[in-house]
């Protein structure tokens, strides 16, 4: 039997992280790089993308590759595996972590359902869900070849349960239906793909609870009171789950949703 240390060793493996220049994506990149993986950082923000890739390479002495790209560009997405293979040699881990962050209609973003638009719903489905599946399909030959293929879809508590709108009371914050639809879709896609891609590639999801980002104080207080563990999440709370699902620590786990939400969904 291998040791825990050996099971979590990712040296010689490569991870591709979408939204890799974002808060959680960058934390995932650091965690996987610390375990030895080379990291491809895909994100729509070119400068952040380059900086995160440079920082990871320097700090963890691993190969990295910035992939500045819009997930809505299907033709560009389909070139990603070839580029990753050319620069990093292989692909073992795909983390679908990006989410739509900019809307062409920001005035109705996070507004009550009556004011939401089909354009925003469509874009959230497109960026959060459909693009992840297009990339997953394109990456399959490399993941199959890996012998350790692992796909990790980043969902949300709002993909599992309805928002508790009371936490937004006294704030101008809210939650979009399109986000919930896309995140629920990712959990079901995880189950579908786990069955379809076994035994060569494992597919799992991580469901984070709300992460503290210095939000409106009333919201933070409402959220904390609503959460059994009494606080919002931090990026650090999520990195154990990604290392577990990416590595041989979870070699016999597929089709599962690891919920890291401080107990939010138990009520
Ligand atoms: N922050 C939370 O409280 C929370 C809670 C539950 C789940 N999540 C999930 O975690 C993941 C990461 O969230 P985060 O908080 O780190 O967000 P973030 O905004 O910091 O990161 C999202 C990244 O996606 C990138 N992105 C947006 N549109 C893109 C596009 N069209 N093409 C390529 N990249 C694009 C952004 O540039 C950004 O770097 C998301 O999937 C989110 O749904 C977050």
Cα–Cα distances in angstroms (integers) from residue 176 to residues 66, 109, 162, 259, in the given order: 30, 7, 11, 21
Give the per-residue pLDDT at 54.
Answer: 98
- Give me ligand 1 centre to Cα 186, in Å: 14
Do the Cβ atoms of 236 and 25 come closer than 8 Å? no
Return d(Cα 168, Cα 222) in angstroms, integer. Answer: 8
CATH no. for residue 70?
3.40.50.720
Q: Is residue 267 part of a domain?
A: no
Instruction: State the pLDDT at residue 254.
Output: 99
How confident is the model at residue 14, as a pLDDT?
98
pLDDT at 88: 98
Residue 264 lies in a domain: no
Which secondary-structure segment (H or E) carries 129? none
Q: What is the pLDDT of residue 36?
A: 98
Taking 50 as the pLDDT cut, the residues of the chain under it are none
Q: Which residues contact 48 (CB under 8 A, 6 or more apart)?
A: 21
> Does any domain span residue 73?
yes
Is 53 in contact with 84 (CB distance < 8 Å)?
no
Range of 113's domain? 4-259
In a domain, 146, yes or no: yes
pTM score of the predicted model: 0.98
State how far the Cα of 17 lies from the Cα of 169, in Å rounded to an integer: 34
Taking the CA of residue 101 as reference, the ligand 1 atom at the shortest distance is: 27
Give pLDDT, residue 131.
Answer: 98
- Residue to mutate (ligand 1; options 44, 99, 120, 216; most atoms within 8 A of CB): 99
Residue 4 has a pLDDT of 98
Question: What is residue 255's predicted lDDT score, i.e. its pLDDT?
Answer: 98
- Under DSSP, the state recorded for 206 is E
Q: Is residue 265 part of a domain?
A: no
Judge whether 139 lies within some domain: yes
The confidence score (pLDDT) of residue 206 equals 99
At residue 96, φ and ψ (nearest 5 deg) are: -85, 95
pLDDT of 91 reads: 98
Give me the number of domains the chain comprises. 1
Confirm whether 266 is domain-assigned: no
Residues having CB within 6 Å of any atom of ligand 1: 19, 21-25, 43-45, 70-72, 97-101, 127, 154, 156, 208, 210-211
Task: Tell me if 252 is assigned to some domain.
Answer: yes
């Amino acid at each position: 039997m291998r040791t825990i240390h050996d099971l979590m060793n990712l040296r010689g493996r490569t991870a591709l992280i979408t939204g890799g220049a974002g808060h959680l994506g960058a934390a995932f990149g650091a965690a996987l790089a610390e375990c030895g993986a080379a990291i491809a950082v895909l994100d729509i923000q070119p400068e952040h993308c380059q900086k995160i890739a440079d920082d990871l390479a320097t700090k963890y002495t691993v190969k990295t590759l910035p992939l500045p790209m819009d997930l809505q560009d299907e033709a560009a997405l389909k070139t990603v595996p070839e580029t990753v293979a050319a620069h990093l040699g292989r692909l073992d881990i795909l983390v679908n972590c990006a989410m739509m962050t900019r809307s062409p209609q920001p005035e109705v973003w996070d507004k009550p359902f009556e004011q939401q638009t089909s354009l925003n719903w469509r874009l959230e489905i497109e960026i959060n869900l459909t693009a992840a599946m297009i990339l997953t399909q394109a990456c399959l030959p490399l993941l199959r070849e890996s012998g350790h293929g692992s796909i990790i879809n980043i969902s949300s508590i709002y993909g599992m349960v309805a928002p508790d709108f009371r936490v937004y009371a006294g704030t101008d914050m809210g939650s979009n239906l399109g986000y919930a639809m896309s995140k629920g879709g990712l959990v079901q896609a995880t189950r579908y793909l786990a069955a379809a891609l076994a035994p060569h590639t494992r597919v799992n999801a991580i469901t984070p609870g709300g992460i503290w980002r210095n939000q409106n104080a009333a919201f933070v207080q409402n959220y904390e009171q609503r959460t059994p563990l009494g606080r919002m999440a931090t990026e650090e709370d999520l990195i154990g789950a990604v290392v577990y699902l990416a590595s041989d620590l979870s070699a016999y786990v597929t089709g599962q949703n690891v919920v890291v939400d401080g107990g939010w969904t138990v009520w």
